[in-house]
Chain A
Amino acid sequence: MIMTHTKMDPSLKDWLVICFKIGALAFGGAGRGMLVRDAVVVEKKWLTNDEFHQIHTVASVLPGSNIANLAAYIGYRLFGNLGGVLGVIALVVPGALLALMVLLFIPINQPDIANIFLGFSIASIAIFAVFIAQLFSGIKSHHISGPLPRSKYVLRILVSLTIVVSILLGGSFLITLLGGLALCLFVEFLA
């Protein structure tokens, strides 16, 4: 693969257009992070691929909406506070306004419309299952080269299962979250 390392000067206006476009046109869950990458790394060359992936790692490891985290970090990095704040606003407002329009102008309680919307929503979880399957293959990853020890893989699956069961049985979210965090770190660093 040929990588060009010439970076271009970023423009705040172009950045806001990118955020707005993703906010207004990107439907359906996972993969939106890659749209940001395509725009910022491939098209505009404001960041190298490595830089993007480091930022992406920080954005996904810290809590919060992943795509908003990503936009906030890239905005801060390229343009300072204003770039982060305005970038997130440009990303969020189109969908949030559209959602409000749907609520106000579409009679979602009318039975036919309710069923169509329910179908949309069930379908969106079905498509989301594909993303979950990808996450599942992601827990086989090892931080160094070479395969993950089998025992660790099994432990990771058990941690995930424990969390699923705990939430579905109505266990406290906060305790599940903190317990899950502790278990994950234990499996990685001590087990």
Chain B
Amino acid sequence: MMTYFNIFLAFFKISFISFGGAFGALPELQRIVVDVHHWMSAKNFVDAYVIGQFVPGPNMAMSGVIGYMVAGILGWFVALAGIYSGSLITMRIGSFYFERHREVQVLKRIEIALRPLVLGLITASAIKFFVMQAQGSLGLAMIMSGLLVALYSYKKVSAISAIFLGGFLWWVVSFF
């Protein structure tokens, strides 16, 4: 029972500290799940992240995967309930306040002011996860990424095709 509660709480907390989307709070989620609670190894955490990236919809689908790895189907449920009930509560209060005050200008200014924070958190997460996943083959990973970004930006290859191509290329590369 305590485990379920702790899973819920871990994800509930993450929801309130993820500014600019949950991606920026991933290092903290990893710390809580791997280092504080010892629920899983760093490798399992990366597996959960990879699966979460692979499916459609909000990328915090990985919460459910982590919950399941720790405590089965009920763990899946409480992890998702934790992270998304945070959103529902925050937005209930936020919308309640904003529908009454409509301080659009102030809010817009704060949103712009916080952009460096969001940029910093997300960049740090991206670097951290990129390096963790590339493991020994950082150079190869960078070359492949450069190629995919070029295809995506200049040849208008869709994001999902670029991601599938990445899977194929990395598989081919693994033979060498």
Q: Does B9 contact A (CB under 8 A)?
A: no
Contact B57 A123 (CB under 8 A): no
Contact B145 A99 (CB under 8 A): no
Task: For A31, give the chain B residue with the smallest CB separation.
Answer: B159
A72-91, CB under 8 A of B: which get 1 and which 0?
11001100010011001101
Residues of A within 8 A of B117 (CB): 159-160, 163, 177, 180-181, 183-184
Contact A168 B128 (CB under 8 A): yes
User: Which residues between 141 and 176 of chain B lie within 8 Å of chain A, taking CB atoms?
Assistant: 141, 144-146, 148-149, 152-153, 159-160, 162-171, 173-174
Given the contacts A72-B88, A173-B27, A92 and B168 also touching, CB distance less than 8 Å: no
B1-43, CB under 8 A of A: which get 1 and which 0?
0000000000000011111111101011001000000000000
Residues of B within 8 A of A102 (CB): 51, 54-55
A-B contact count (CB 8 A): 326
Given the contacts A24-B57, A116-B171, A120-B163, A167 and B51 also touching, CB distance less than 8 Å: no
Q: How far is the CA of A187 from the CA of B134 in the complex (A)?
A: 36
Residues of B within 8 A of A120 (CB): 50, 53-54, 163-164, 166-167, 170
Contact partner, B166, options A31, A57, A119, Cβ 8 Å: A119
Task: For B102, give the chain A residue with the smallest CB separation.
Answer: A54
B14 to chain A, nearest CB (A): 9
Q: Does A147 contact B (CB under 8 A)?
A: no
Residues of B within 8 A of A119 (CB): 144, 166-171
Task: For B86, give the chain A residue with the smallest CB separation.
Answer: A64
Contact A28 B57 (CB under 8 A): no
Q: How far is the CA of A116 from the CA of B167 in the complex (A)?
A: 4
Residues of A within 8 A of B173 (CB): 115
Given the contacts A81-B92, A95-B58, A177-B17, A136 and B119 also touching, CB distance less than 8 Å: yes
6 examples of A-B residue contacts, CB within 8 angstroms: A25-B56, A88-B84, A108-B50, A123-B170, A156-B116, A184-B114
Which A residues fall within an 8 A CB radius of B?
22-29, 31-32, 54, 57-69, 72-73, 76-77, 81, 84-85, 88-89, 91-92, 94-96, 98-100, 102-103, 108, 111-112, 115-130, 132, 135-136, 138-139, 141-143, 156-157, 159-164, 166-168, 173-174, 177, 180-181, 183-185, 187-189
Having A58-B91, A68-B87, one finds 17 other A-B pairs with CB under 8 Å, namely A27-B159, A27-B160, A61-B111, A69-B87, A96-B57, A98-B56, A111-B174, A115-B174, A118-B133, A121-B46, A121-B50, A123-B144, A123-B148, A135-B115, A163-B116, A173-B31, A188-B110
Which B residues fall within an 8 A CB radius of A?
15-23, 25, 27-28, 31, 46-47, 49-65, 68-69, 76, 80, 83-84, 86-88, 90-92, 94-95, 98-99, 102, 104-105, 107-130, 133-134, 141, 144-146, 148-149, 152-153, 159-160, 162-171, 173-174
